[in-house]
Amino acid sequence: MSEKQRIDEATGTSTVGHEWDGIEELNTPLPRWWLLTFYACVIWGLAYTVMYPAWPMISSATAGMTGWSSRGDLAKEMKAETERRAPILAAISAKPVEQIPGDEKLYATAVEGGRAAFKVHCVQCHGSGAAGSKGYPNLNDDDWIWGGDMATIHQTITHGIRAPEHAETRMSQMPAFGGMFKPAELSSVVAYVQSLSGSRPADAVSAAGAPLFAANCVQCHGPDGKGVRAMGGPNLTDKIWLYGGDEAAIRQTITKSRYGVMPNWNQKLDATTIKMLAAYVHSLGGGEAAAKAGVAAAAAVPAATPAAEAPASNVK
């Protein structure tokens, strides 16, 4: 390799003096437009670091002469949005929850607000379409354990179901009948429960379960099996099941019981957001009018069963 520079005859440009296997490198100057662009970028970059946040420090960055920041812009936009929404949120907050459906515009706004909150807080259990899954209720149908009017839904969301360490939570508990029924008795009760919804034709086996059902289950499920909302007892006559309606699932439910838990959201969400969630759930297709729910809640509860039999829980 030679370190001697020379002028290339073909181009008239000086070489850098390096040679590899007869190949030399020309010392061609950079185009003037490129150099000017480069110098302009350097000047612009230095000016930017002076005007805007740029240089990292120990706990933050230099603020810049303009005082601008993306977080500051976001804070302004959030403040403006909060001010824009304040009147409608105040209206929702001021109106009793059962009266919100009567105001069409307010109800529609509450539903959209609840839709957004549902996607953040509720889809983990009820699914993005609120269709639920095994152990998690489908909110699109009209099958309600506690009631489907606005006030009842609001109460459920606010205080939850079997929420730990919350005195106002909805509470019900179906006893585990595994040690209370003999194998043949258990089979007959399972058959009777299936026959109530038409999942199985009535026969001698299911008929044998009727007296056992009457003695142990009617307090919560009612004498006709249609459920008692005041007790949190599900309707067993439809074909909507929370844990499954096949023989094995019903047998497990009766034998070992169920204990689903819904958190009380009043410790995590503000009262207005809970109202909007109630409106959204109510709008999904199964929402009931207050009058209908009131009639259902006021329905007579069957006579008490022996003390050893606790209230029912979510069989469905």
Residue ranges per structural domain of the chain:
91-316
Residue whose structure tokens are 């909007």: 276
Does 267 score more than 80 pLDDT? Answer: yes
Tell me the mean pLDDT in the region 206-218. Answer: 96
Pick the CATH number of 91-316 from 1.20.120.1810, 1.20.1250.20, 1.10.760.10, 3.30.420.40: 1.10.760.10
Is 294 a residue whose pLDDT tops 60?
Answer: no
- The pLDDT confidence band at residue 312, using thresholds 50, 70 and 90, is very low
Query: Beta partners for 68?
Result: none
Percentage of the chain modeled with pLDDT above 90:
75
Global model pTM greater than 0.85: no
Q: For the chain, how big is the Rg over CA atoms in Å?
A: 35
Q: Which of 120-124, 206-210, 287-291 is predicted least confidently?
A: 287-291
Reported as a single tens digit per residue, the pLDDT across 183-198 is 999 999 999 999 999 9
Could you report the per-residue pLDDT of 123-176, keeping only the tens digit for each? Answer: 999 999 999 999 999 999 999 999 999 999 999 999 999 999 999 999 999 999
Closest CA to 156 of 70, 232, 208, 81: 232
The DSSP 8-state label assigned to residue 55 in this structure reads S
Structure-model confidence comparison of residues 295 and 76, the more confident one: 76
